[in-house]
């Protein structure tokens, strides 16, 4: 070792002349190459190597960072095409060029992120093969056919993305545009499969099934179709849209803050609005998908469910509540800022409803964050009569949390509806009836959710989980599915009383968009840790035990430091990618729809709520 | 210095750095980085303020039969298993508890025979899966009893016998399990649990 150390010093001396940075990079590369030299290999002395490690840093820590960055990038890359494509369709159908430009801008961010995602995927694969040969060998044995399928999907996705992006300008008219839209559909189709195939590998680790004898394909298919596969697929699909939306919103927020002229301010204010809208649009059904996933986990294995919700990870859900609460508040705050700044004269009109919604959200957040049991000294516990607080303890149970989560979704939904309707006067003859129906639906739904929540205290958990909580979810979904089309119909013939003015948002709006994006990224890192830790000391739950020195889940504080680090690294990475991608834009005119003023796409709620930016009016 | 304190100091430094950037730097992108640093630092500090529990893998204690001389020795081992590898305390309490999801096991050793307890642990759905301790129709417990002898818990026969000894001792009953019943490794090896027979896998198959 001394000899090696001497060589190292000599190397460093040699490299110093070529610049310190080079030596740092080479050192880092050498450090990463250590596993290939078999250093710190674990396993039976005579048997095959089961684990490799990098002393000092730890193989798990490296995999944690790389896997998290890869997953976040993948989430963004798979989420963006969904709404880029939808924006393109809206632009195509409505004839509004600004939506087409926006879709193109989203896709530009996508193309530049795609290669980086693949790069991190490649690094992750090498690290996994290097650090966990036993596990990877086991998974390869089961999933080899899906590995092949995955590679084919990547080829198809890459080819489609090239055509979609590079053919954008060339395929603008007539049948070519239709073909371009079809390419967008294919892009999303392949992207969906690219997401669900690796999901099967990860979910198999958490909820393995019996793999009977049979062909390789049959075995791979049996393992793929495991109990948590579809819940995770749906949850991730929605979460990717949320992530993509909020990141695009944050991008617009930063560009808005740094805007140098009115045109830029208008454009990025509008883009921030669209990004936030997409984020909220996905955020509303996301808790339902999460609930379904948890339900499946409980049904699959009670112990895993208890480890998550009642075991050592129970405090994690208090952090989750905090992050989701801030996200809801941030999203609503941005809506409210929009109402008061983009719609002149509406400050006083909406002051009371906004204050009411704020109070409801804060109260709900308080209940959601109430822990089930408190950390108390013996004396404190004796005074309280247990580890539950005599008054607040009642809010620490799932019945209360499910109720407030549903109420927060309802409030956020109403916040959006309020924003959508602001500055417009309904002219339909049935408008009054429709408003009454919507009001009644909302009030009755709110009451029903609360009643079910309170009732939930007096019934066995199984009834609450199977019937009451599900009913609460269905009620909220019913509200959304009733009020959204009704509002769209109502506004179709509405008269605009106050034009929405873009580019007038205060700087804190930009920061709210950034905050929302950071919250979503943190949430993904937090729940990634939860998903991984729920397997406790198993690589494949109940089947293959983790016998490495890292067969433990670190405490929340340590894990949170990693989550924060990963979030920061991801933000910097995305900022760098976006900076590179938009480098050539400087100096170009921001001609998003300039001179091509069009009407708002009626009946398309996603893009509702705004007159075209000022640039369009010139 | 304690790891938590170290991390708290790092968190505070990050937040402080963010505040300094916001106060003294005018460049918008740097200010956004400062803002993000504050948010992430605060998040870490909150996470460090909640109870810090790591999830350690259950210690693979060697069941050294040579050291087990009396039934009381078995009960002592059983008590350790009850609160660690067996994960019994995750759902069961010993004495009344509001948070327990499954039956209170206080006095269970005097209510049930050792054979019945053994069967309840290894064939949990054979007879007992409903709660009759109230008026009217029996109810399902919030948590179902897992197969203790199968993965992921996977107690061996010796370990299960020790848990039974503990339950009997805790109930004030004479311990009916004898060290002579313990299987000596190598002489009467219990069949290894196959992947396909493990608990969650079996549950998934049933689905």
Inter-chain touch B98–A299, beta carbons under 8 Å: no
CA A55 to chain centre: 33
Look at residue A174 and tell me whether its pLDDT is greater than 70.
yes
Note which residues in 89-148 of chain B have CB less than 8 A from chain A. 90-91, 98-99, 101, 139-140, 142-144, 146
Measured between beta carbons, the chain A residues lying within 8 angstroms of B90 are 303, 306, 310-311
Predicted pLDDT of residue B6: 94
Average pLDDT over residues A174-186: 93
B44 touches chain A (CB under 8 A): yes
Look at residue A133 and tell me whether its pLDDT is greater than 70.
yes
Measured between beta carbons, the chain B residues lying within 8 angstroms of A544 are 195
DSSP B11-28: HHHHHHHHHHHHHH---H
More confident residue, B82 or B131: B82
Look at residue A123 and tell me whether its pLDDT is greater than 60.
yes
**pTM of the predicted structure, to 2 decimals:** 0.78
Could you tell me the pLDDT band of residue A463, with boundaries at 50, 70 and 90?
A: confident
For residues A50 and A548, the answer to whether their CB atoms sit within 8 Å is yes
Average pLDDT over residues A132-138: 94
* Opening angle at CA A250, ends A245 and A253, nearest 5: 125
Local structure of A544: helix, strand or coil: strand
Q: Which of B167, B182, B200 is nearest to A296 (CA)?
A: B200
Task: Mutate one of A222, A299, A302, A516 to test the B interface: name it (highest B CB count within 10 A).
Answer: A302
Give alpha helix (H) positions in chain B.
Answer: 3-24, 28-49, 71-83, 108-111, 114-122, 157-170, 199-206
Size of interface A-B (CB pairs under 8 A): 171
**Residue A586 backbone dihedrals phi, psi, to 5 degrees:** -60, 130
* Opening angle at CA A303, ends A298 and A305, nearest 5: 40
> Residue A511: closest CA among chain B residues belongs to which residue?
B32
Predicted pLDDT of residue A14: 44
Look at residue A380 and tell me whether its pLDDT is greater than 80.
no
Predicted pLDDT of residue A38: 47
CA A424 to chain centre: 32
For residues A530 and A206, the answer to whether their CB atoms sit within 8 Å is no
> Residue A459: closest CA among chain B residues belongs to which residue?
B139
User: What are the CA-CA distances from residue A229 to residues A140, A195, A300, A304, B203 (Å)?
Assistant: 18, 11, 12, 16, 16
For residues B182 and B161, the answer to whether their CB atoms sit within 8 Å is yes
Please tell me which of the candidates A207, A318, A568 has its beta carbon nearest to residue B50.
A318
Average pLDDT over residues A560-587: 88
Inter-chain touch B35–A511, beta carbons under 8 Å: yes
Average pLDDT over residues A2-6: 41
Q: Nearest CA of chain A to the CA of B111: how many Å?
A: 25
At the top level of CATH, the class of B65-132+139-190 is: mainly alpha
Average pLDDT over residues A572-582: 88
| Encoded tokens for B44 | 């870490």
Of A8-17, A310-319, A595-604, highest mean pLDDT: A310-319
B36 touches chain A (CB under 8 A): yes
What's the rounded Cα separation, in Å, for the pair A18 and A338? Answer: 53
> Residue A204: closest CA among chain B residues belongs to which residue?
B201
For residues A375 and A364, the answer to whether their CB atoms sit within 8 Å is no
Interface TM-score (ipTM) > 0.90: no
Q: Which of A603-617, B39-53, B185-199 has the lowest mean pLDDT?
A: A603-617
Inter-chain touch A303–B7, beta carbons under 8 Å: no
CA B190 to chain centre: 23
Predicted pLDDT of residue A35: 47
More confident residue, B60 or A579: A579
Inter-chain touch A303–B142, beta carbons under 8 Å: no
pLDDT, tens digit (0-9, with 9 covering 90-100), for B79-116: 988 887 887 877 788 888 766 677 889 999 999 999 99
For residues A290 and A473, the answer to whether their CB atoms sit within 8 Å is no
CA A257 to chain centre: 24
Predicted pLDDT of residue B189: 47
What's the rounded Cα separation, in Å, for the pair B170 and B173? Answer: 7
What's the rounded Cα separation, in Å, for the pair B118 and B116? Answer: 5
DSSP A267-285: HHHHHHHHHHHHHHHHHTT
Q: Which of A115-119, A165-169, A462-466 has the lowest mean pLDDT?
A: A462-466
Determine which helix (DSSP H) or strand (DSSP E) holds A56, and give its type and residue range: none
Q: Nearest CA of chain A to the CA of B52: how many Å?
A: 5
Task: Mutate one of A207, A303, A509 to test the B interface: name it (highest B CB count within 10 A).
Answer: A303
Determine which helix (DSSP H) or strand (DSSP E) holds A206, and give its type and residue range: helix A174-206
Q: Which of A298, A279, A280 is nearest to A290 (CA)?
A: A298
What is the residue whose two structure tokens read 């708002």? Answer: A600
B20 touches chain A (CB under 8 A): no
Predicted pLDDT of residue A393: 66
Q: Which of B43, B85, B179, B6 is nearest to A525 (CA)?
A: B43
What's the rounded Cα separation, in Å, for the pair A473 and A295? Answer: 13
Q: Nearest CA of chain A to the CA of B184: how many Å?
A: 24
What is the residue whose two structure tokens read 């300094």? Answer: B20
Could you tell me the pLDDT band of residue A18, with boundaries at 50, 70 and 90?
A: very low
What's the rounded Cα separation, in Å, for the pair B186 and A414? Answer: 69
Domain boundaries, chain B: 3-49, 65-132+139-190
Q: Which of A14-18, A401-405, A525-529 has the lowest mean pLDDT?
A: A14-18
Look at residue A5 and tell me whether its pLDDT is greater than 50.
no
Q: Nearest CA of chain B to the CA of A427: how many Å?
A: 44
A398-421 vs A316-342: helix axis angle to the nearest 10? 20
Q: For residue B139, what are the β-bridge partners?
A: B131
Look at residue B142 and tell me whether its pLDDT is greater than 60.
yes
B34 touches chain A (CB under 8 A): no
Q: Nearest CA of chain A to the CA of B71: how many Å?
A: 30
Average pLDDT over residues A110-120: 90
Predicted pLDDT of residue A11: 42
User: What are the CA-CA distances from residue A184 to residues A104, A130, A293, A427, A597 (Å)?
Assistant: 11, 37, 29, 37, 25
Mean pLDDT computed over every residue of chain A: 83
DSSP A485-497: HHHHHHHHTPEES
What is the residue whose two structure tokens read 């709404």? Answer: A83
Mean pLDDT computed over every residue of chain B: 81
Task: Mutate one of A384, A461, A542, A558 to test the B interface: name it (highest B CB count within 10 A).
Answer: A542
What's the rounded Cα separation, in Å, for the pair A558 and A555? Answer: 6
B39 touches chain A (CB under 8 A): yes
What's the rounded Cα separation, in Å, for the pair A73 and B89? Answer: 41
A423 φψ region: left (φ > 0), alpha (ψ -120 to 50), beta (else): left
Look at residue A66 and tell me whether its pLDDT is greater than 90.
yes
Predicted pLDDT of residue A385: 59
pLDDT, tens digit (0-9, with 9 covering 90-100), for A304-347: 887 887 667 878 888 998 999 899 999 999 988 998 888 887 77
For residues B144 and B101, the answer to whether their CB atoms sit within 8 Å is no
DSSP A110-140: HHHHHHHHHHHHHHHHHHHHHH-HHHHHHHH
More confident residue, A565 or A219: A565
What's the rounded Cα separation, in Å, for the pair A176 and A161? Answer: 16
Give alpha helix (H) positions in A225-309.
Answer: 229-257, 262-283, 286-300, 302-309
For chain B, the maximum distance between any two Cα atoms, rounded to a whole number of angstroms, is 79
Exposure b/e, A6-23, CB count within 10 A at least 16 = b: eeeeeeeeebeeeeeeeb
pLDDT, tens digit (0-9, with 9 covering 90-100), for A423-432: 888 888 888 9
| Encoded tokens for B17 | 């750095």
């Amino acid at each position: 070792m001394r000899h090696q150390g001497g060589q190292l010093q000599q190397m460093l001396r040699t490299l110093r002349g070529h610049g310190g940075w080079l030596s740092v990079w080479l050192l880092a590369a050498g450090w990463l190459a250590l596993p290939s030299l078999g250093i710190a290999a674990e396993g039976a002395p005579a048997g095959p190597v089961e684990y490799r490690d990098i002393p000092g840093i730890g193989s798990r820590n490296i995999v944690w960072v790389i896997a998290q960055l890869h997953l976040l990038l993948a989430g963004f890359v798979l989420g963006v095409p969904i709404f880029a494509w939808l924006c393109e369709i809206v632009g195509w159908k409505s004839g509004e060029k600004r939506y087409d430009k926006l879709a193109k801008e989203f896709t530009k961010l996508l193309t530049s992120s795609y290669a980086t995602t693949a790069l991190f995927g490649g690094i992750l694969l090498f690290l996994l093969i290097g650090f966990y040969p036993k596990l990877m060998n086991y998974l390869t044995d089961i999933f080899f056919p899906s590995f092949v399928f995955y590679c084919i999907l990547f080829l198809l996705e890459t080819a489609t993305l090239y055509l979609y992006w590079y053919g954008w300008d060339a395929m603008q008219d007539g049948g070519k545009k239709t073909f371009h839209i079809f390419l967008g559909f294919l892009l999303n189709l392949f992207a969906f499969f690219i997401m669900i195939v690796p999901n099967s590998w990860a979910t198999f680790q958490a909820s393995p099934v019996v793999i009977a004898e049979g062909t390789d394909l049959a075995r791979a298919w049996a393992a793929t179709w495991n109990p948590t596969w579809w819940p995770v697929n749906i949850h991730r699909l929605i979460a990717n849209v949320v992530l993509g939306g909020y990141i695009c919103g944050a991008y617009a927020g930063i560009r808005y803050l740094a805007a140098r002229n009115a045109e830029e301010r208008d454009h990025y204010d509008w883009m921030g609005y669209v990004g936030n809208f997409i984020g909220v649009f996905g955020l509303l059904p996301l808790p339902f998908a999460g609930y379904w996933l948890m339900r499946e986990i409980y049904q699959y294995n009670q112990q895993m469910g208890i480890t998550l919700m009642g075991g050592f990870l129970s405090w994690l859900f208090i952090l989750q509540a905090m992050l989701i609460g801030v996200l809801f508040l941030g999203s609503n705050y941005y809506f409210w800022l929009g109402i008061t700044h983009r719609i002149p004269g509406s400050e006083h009109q909406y002051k009371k409803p906004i204050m009411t919604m704020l109070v409801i959200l804060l109260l709900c957040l308080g209940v959601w964050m109430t822990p089930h049991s408190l950390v108390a000294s013996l004396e404190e516990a004796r005074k309280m009569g247990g580890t539950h607080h005599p008054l607040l303890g009642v809010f620490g149970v799932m019945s209360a949390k499910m109720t407030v989560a549903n109420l927060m979704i309802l409030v956020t939904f109403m916040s959006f509806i309020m924003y959508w309707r602001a500055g417009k006067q309904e002219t339909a003859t049935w408008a009054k009836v429709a408003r009454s129906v919507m009001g009644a639906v909302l009030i009755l739904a709110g009451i029903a959710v609360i009643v079910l929540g309170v009732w939930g205290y007096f019934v066995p958990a199984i009834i609450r989980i199977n019937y009451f909580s599900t009913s609460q979810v269905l009620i909220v979904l019913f509200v959304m599915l009733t009020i959204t089309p009704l509002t769209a119909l109502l506004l179709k013939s509405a008269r605009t009383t106050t034009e929405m003015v873009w580019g007038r948002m205060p700087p804190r709006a930009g920061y709210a968009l950034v905050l929302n994006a950071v919250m979503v990224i943190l949430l993904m890192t937090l729940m990634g840790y939860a998903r991984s830790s729920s397997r406790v000391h198993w690589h494949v739950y109940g089947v293959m035990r983790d016998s490495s020195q890292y067969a433990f889940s670190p405490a929340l504080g340590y894990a949170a430091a990693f989550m924060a680090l990963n979030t920061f690294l991801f933000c910097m990475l995305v900022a760098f990618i976006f900076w590179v991608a938009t480098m050539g834009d400087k100096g170009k005119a921001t001609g998003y729809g300039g001179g091509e003023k069009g009407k708002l796409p009626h009946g398309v709620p996603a893009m509702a709520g705004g007159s075209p930016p000022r640039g369009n009016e010139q | 210095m304690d790891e938590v304190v170290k991390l708290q100091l790092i968190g505070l430094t990050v937040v402080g750095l963010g505040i300094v950037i916001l106060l003294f730097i005018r460049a918008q992108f740097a200010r956004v980085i400062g803002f993000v640093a504050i948010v992430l630092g605060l998040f870490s500090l909150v996470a460090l303020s909640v109870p810090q529990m790591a999830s350690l893998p259950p210690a693979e204690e060697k069941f050294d039969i040579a050291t087990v001389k009396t039934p009381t020795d078995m009960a002592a081992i059983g008590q350790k298993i009850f609160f660690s590898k067996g994960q019994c305390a995750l759902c069961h309490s010993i004495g009344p508890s509001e948070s327990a999801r499954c039956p209170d096991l206080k006095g269970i050793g005097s209510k049930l025979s050792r054979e019945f307890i053994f069967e309840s642990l290894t064939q949990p759905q054979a007879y007992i899966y409903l709660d009759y301790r109230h008026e009217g129709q029996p109810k399902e417990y919030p948590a179902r009893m897992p197969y203790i002898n199968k993965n992921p818990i996977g107690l061996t026969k010796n370990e299960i016998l020790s848990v039974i000894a503990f339950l009997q001792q805790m109930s004030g009953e004479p311990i009916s399990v004898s060290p002579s019943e313990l299987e000596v490794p190598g002489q009467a090896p219990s069949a290894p649990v196959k992947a396909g027979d493990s608990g969650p896998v079996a549950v998934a198959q049933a689905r």
